[in-house]
């Protein structure tokens, strides 16, 4: 796929290619956004600030919401049907920021229509849905937003450090994150958030896709998950009044994911739990380990625990900073545009998303059946 550069148009803009120090004159990608809720508006904000993007259309089932976003970001066209936006010849690429169950067919239709596609997380309801997108993608750029935490400096540092081989052969990759019960919320959570039919699941699809993308990504996508043993639990009775009526998906899960080379991903995520909040990500190898923080919360440090024959485990801080989280959402749409313009892959491709979804499907199947599930 050739980069969209040096096109003869009055909309040409200068663009400095990251890491190359080379300026190109490019035609901005004309962007449409389907879904004008919180995430859709964040993508629009990122697009409005980028020389590579020109927001030209928005769509939302609630027309007033689409019109409000169009006015806020200076977008010329507002639709109340995503299919109309997809059919618009002025739209080159589409961001889908709707409820999971409502966007898969639209994304496939957009790819068939020759549009580039950026899908909010989770990428789909099942691995089969992701495969269908891959089958019709052709030479278009298609990406998923589960990779947004890779844009932190901390993620780049962790990725570079692990790639040096300083940890030796990887053995156990840990992620354990609890969000303790916080009492009655000021406003009820959205009804889709823990609804199987609308969202595909609960905490696993809401946050698990981030965790798995992050862990697989910083280890260079070298891990090959092959088997999953897992358990899920719904919201404890004492917190049921604090979630949306009709919530039927899990709020807590624990999984052991065995990889091809014997490495293991030990994964636990929970919200509304009867334990104080905890956040820990760790990569353990034969020669050392790395203690991480995926999200932009304190402490913003990465610690390397090295081993010495004479002294045992020695710890040192290899990174410390003041990362902030606001820019990660906006960076996803910028990376999407850069991939289109530069003719490269986006941060999280559909193939990577397919692996994450296969793990997700296996976790749910294992929890439902009470047995280990193989990942093909």
Distance CA 237, CA 272 (A): 10
Q: What is the pLDDT of residues 294-332, one digit of tens each?
A: 987 767 899 999 988 889 999 999 999 866 655 666 899
Report the pLDDT value the prediction gives residue 300, as an integer from 0 to 100.
86
Report the pLDDT value the prediction gives residue 1, as an integer from 0 to 100.
34
Domains of the chain: 13-148+329-344 (3.40.50.720), 150-324+357-374 (3.30.360.10)
Instruction: For 247, list phi and psi in degrees, rounded to 5.
Output: -65, 125
| Pairing label, strands 288-292, 225-233 | unpaired
Q: Is the pLDDT of residue 7 over 50?
A: no
Task: Determine the straight-line distance between the first and last CA of the chain, rounded to whole angstroms.
Answer: 30
Please give the model's pTM, rounded to 2 decimal places. Answer: 0.91
**Could you count the other beta carbons within 10 Å of the beta carbon of residue 90?**
12
Q: Which residues of 176-205 are buried (b: 16+ CB within 10 A; e: fewer)?
A: bbbbebeeeeeeeeeebbbbbebbbbbbbb
Q: Is the distance from CB of 34 to CB of 97 less than 8 angstroms?
A: yes
Distance CA 28, CA 13 (A): 7
Q: Which residues of 45-79 are buried (b: 16+ CB within 10 A; e: fewer)?
A: bbbbebebbbbbbbbbbeeebbbbbbeebebebbb
Region of poorest pLDDT, from 13-17, 54-58, 168-172: 13-17
Distance CA 192, CA 343 (A): 35
Report the pLDDT value the prediction gives residue 121, as an integer from 0 to 100.
95
Closest CA to 221 of 30, 370, 359, 19: 359
Closest CA to 333 of 74, 35, 44: 44
Report the pLDDT value the prediction gives residue 296, as an integer from 0 to 100.
74
The stretch 274-303 carries a mean pLDDT of 90
Q: Which residues pair with 285 in a beta bridge?
A: 170
Instruction: For 98, list phi and psi in degrees, rounded to 5.
Output: -105, 180
Note the residue count of the chain: 376
Which carries the bigger pLDDT value, residue 177 or residue 9? 177
Q: Is the pLDDT of residue 243 over 70?
A: yes
Q: What is the pLDDT of residues 346-364, one digit of tens each?
A: 999 999 999 999 999 999 9
Confidence of residue 157 (pLDDT cuts 50, 70, 90): very high
Average pLDDT, the chain: 91
Report the pLDDT value the prediction gives residue 228, as an integer from 0 to 100.
98
Q: What is the pLDDT of residues 62-106, one digit of tens each?
A: 999 999 999 999 999 999 999 999 999 999 999 999 999 989 999
> Cα 234 to the chain's mean position, in Å?
23
Task: Kindly tell me the number of DSSP H helices and DSSP E strands found in the chain.
Answer: 11, 17
H helical segments located in the chain: 38-49, 63-73, 82-87, 100-112, 127-137, 153-163, 196-199, 203, 209-218, 326-342, 350-369
């Amino acid at each position: 796929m050739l980069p969209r550069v040096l096109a003869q148009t009055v909309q040409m803009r200068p663009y400095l290619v990251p890491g190359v120090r080379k300026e190109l004159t490019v035609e901005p990608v004309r962007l449409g956004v389907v879904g004008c809720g919180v995430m859709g508006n964040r993508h629009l904000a990122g697009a409005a600030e980028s020389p590579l993007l020109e927001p030209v259309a928005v769509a939302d089932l609630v027309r007033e919401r689409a019109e409000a976003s169009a006015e806020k970001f200076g977008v010329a066209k507002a639709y109340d049907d995503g299919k109309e936006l997809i059919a618009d010849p002025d739209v080159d690429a589409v961001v889908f920021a709707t409820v999971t169950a409502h966007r898969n067919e639209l994304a496939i239709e957009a790819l068939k229509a020759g549009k580039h596609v950026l899908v909010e997380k989770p990428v789909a309801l099942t691995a089969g849905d992701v495969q269908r997108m891959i089958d019709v993608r052709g030479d278009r750029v298609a990406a998923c937003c589960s990779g947004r935490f890779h844009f932190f400096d901390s993620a780049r540092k962790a990725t570079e450090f692990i790639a040096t081989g300083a940890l030796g052969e990887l053995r156990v990759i840990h992620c354990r994150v609890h969000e303790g019960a916080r009492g009655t919320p000021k406003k009820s959570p959205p009804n889709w958030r823990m609804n199987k039919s609308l969202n595909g699941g609960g905490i696993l699809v809401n946050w698990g896709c981030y965790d798995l993308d992050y862990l697989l990504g910083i280890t260079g996508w070298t891990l090959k998950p092959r088997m999953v043993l897992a358990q899920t639990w719904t919201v404890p009775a004492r917190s049921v009044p604090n979630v949306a009526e009709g919530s039927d998906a899990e709020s807590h899960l624990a999984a052991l994911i065995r990889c091809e080379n014997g490495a293991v991903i030990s994964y636990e995520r929970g919200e509304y739990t009867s334990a104080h909040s905890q956040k820990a990500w760790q990569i353990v190898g034969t020669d050392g380990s790395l203690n991480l923080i995926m999200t932009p919360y304190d402490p913003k440090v990465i610690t390397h625990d090295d081993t010495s024959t004479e002294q045992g485990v020695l710890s040192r801080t290899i990174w410390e900073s003041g990362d902030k989280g606001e820019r990660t959402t906006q960076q996803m749409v910028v990376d999407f545009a850069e991939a289109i313009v530069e003719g490269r892959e986006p941060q999280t491709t559909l193939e990577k998303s397919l692996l994450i979804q296969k793990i997700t499907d296996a976790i749910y199947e294992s929890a439902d059946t009470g047995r280990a599930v193989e990942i093909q």
